[in-house]
Amino acid sequence: MAALGGKLTKKLVENLGPGRHGDGAGLYLVVDPSGARRWIVRVTVKGQKNRKGAPLRTDFGLGGADVVTLNQARERALDYRRMAKAGLNPRFNARRDVPTFEELARQVHIDRLPTWKNPKHGQQWLNTLRDYAFPKIGRMPVDSIGQPEVLMCLLPVWTAKHETARRLMQRIKTVLDVAKSSGFREGENPVIAVKEAGVLPKVKARVVHHEAMPWRDVPAFYAELEGRTATAAKALQFTILSACRTSEVLGMTWEEIDSETRLWTIPAQRMKTGVAHRVPLTDEMLRILEPMRAMASAYVFEGQKRHRPLSNMSMLMLLRRIGRGEFTVHGFRSTFRDWAAEAAGAPREVAEAALAHQVGTDVERAYARSDLLERRRELMQTWSVCLIPEPKR
């Protein structure tokens, strides 16, 4: 078959830097920051629509550039475009060559990108496989991977980096599950067999607790922060007052704040639970926020880089600088929870709602539609008064 024309050349394929480089007609060379190179093709399937009613446009992996040549990628892309033009989805009609583990893993990554909360999570998923699986089994066809190959990936990190190894195990299992459902493998997933065989060393689980300052000590500490002008100190004060997570406070923008209704609404995409959360703003919270407007930034707590938020380490480093390194920022949520139970006598559902925790079964939550805003407003005001007994003059 004659070579198909395009914008790329063999030399460019070998030397282009990170990014997505088009060859034309929907074929792209994707170069990762690590230098890994792979082919994808984007096609529009005739007569088929996505869930929003738009034409079904999909990316398909064609293999790594180290094993699939430019001409082979063009030929495969042409096959996919012909199928799509005929109304056939290439996912179900493409030639069933058994892919390598890396090829299929990268395709799974592409397919699942829309399901992750943000691109960072998706990249972490792939990076774990890139660092610990691809060097050992990346070039192996997925139908030839068994227990020995899985162990070859897991054992070097099982005890030294146990949490990483657990994630690696789950991600290898996911790729091999997809391989089976796609018809590339048969039989039991070897990851399950490895787990059940008991051949991996037993690692004692470590329960990590965020060290929390006793609530009786917080007023004095809060007064110490009041004497500091650094943005990190103001952000930490607000974090303590609101009982919110570090990422929620540092990512806060002025658009999320309504001073008239005294509400800070955190959008769902920034919440760990994926559900929008309303935080009632007390007088003390508003007092801290108002001077921040002078920075004229979209972010309330701007960092050293213009129009960028503070680093997520800024408040922790502040704790260390002032000799409170035994505590964590996240621990102040536990401090608030202890105070709510021991001193305020707050009902469990109100205290948990203040922390944006989901309480009860799915059925219970389906009927409990209220976020208890006004009861939480009273609780947060009492917490502010506890931290600052005397009103500001």
Domain with residue 108: its CATH number is: 1.10.150.130
Same domain, 221 and 200: no
Same domain, 86 and 117: no
**Whole-prediction pTM value?**
0.51
Out of 26, 61, 95, a domain closes at: 95
Out of 176, 207, 238, a domain closes at: 207
Alpha carbon of residue 85 to chain centroid:
36
pLDDT at residue 392 in the model: 47
CA pair distance 90, 81, nearest whole angstrom: 8
The rounded percent of the chain whose pLDDT value lies above 70 is 90
Asked if the structure places residue 12 within a domain, the reply is yes
Same domain, 266 and 130: no
Out of 173, 188, 207, a domain closes at: 207
Give the least confident one: 86-100, 248-262, 371-385: 86-100
Alpha carbon of residue 374 to chain centroid:
32
CATH for 74: 3.30.160.390
CATH for 315: 1.10.443.10
Residue 368 has pLDDT above 60, yes or no: no
Same domain, 240 and 367: yes
Residue-range definition of the domain harbouring residue 229: 215-387
Q: Which residue has the higher pLDDT, 46 or 215?
A: 215
Same domain, 374 and 355: yes
Same domain, 161 and 219: no
Same domain, 357 and 260: yes
pLDDT at residue 248 in the model: 95
Asked if the structure places residue 286 within a domain, the reply is yes
Which amino acid, 373?
Answer: L
Same domain, 244 and 363: yes
pLDDT at residue 209 in the model: 54
- 99-119 in b/e burial notation, b at 16+ Cβ within 10 A? bbbbbbbbbbbbeeeeeeeee
Asked if the structure places residue 238 within a domain, the reply is yes
Task: Report pLDDT digits (tens) over 225-242.
Answer: 999 999 999 999 999 999
pLDDT at residue 243 in the model: 95
Same domain, 172 and 89: no
Same domain, 30 and 177: no
Task: Count up the domains in the chain and report the number.
Answer: 3
Find the mean pLDDT for residues 51-67.
Answer: 78
Task: Report pLDDT digits (tens) over 140-182.
Answer: 989 889 999 999 999 999 988 888 999 999 999 999 998 888 7
Asked if the structure places residue 301 within a domain, the reply is yes
Query: Among 274, 281, 249, 285, which residue's Cα sits nearest to residue 358?
Result: 274
| Cβ pair 335, 211 in contact under 8 A | no
Same domain, 236 and 154: no
CA pair distance 107, 369, nearest whole angstrom: 39
Angle at 136 between CA 131 and CA 138, to 5 degrees: 80
Asked if the structure places residue 29 within a domain, the reply is yes
Asked if the structure places residue 392 within a domain, the reply is no
CA pair distance 148, 155, nearest whole angstrom: 10
Same domain, 282 and 379: yes
Asked if the structure places residue 393 within a domain, the reply is no
Confidence of residue 223 (pLDDT cuts 50, 70, 90): very high
The rounded percent of the chain whose pLDDT value lies above 90 is 53
Asked if the structure places residue 344 within a domain, the reply is yes
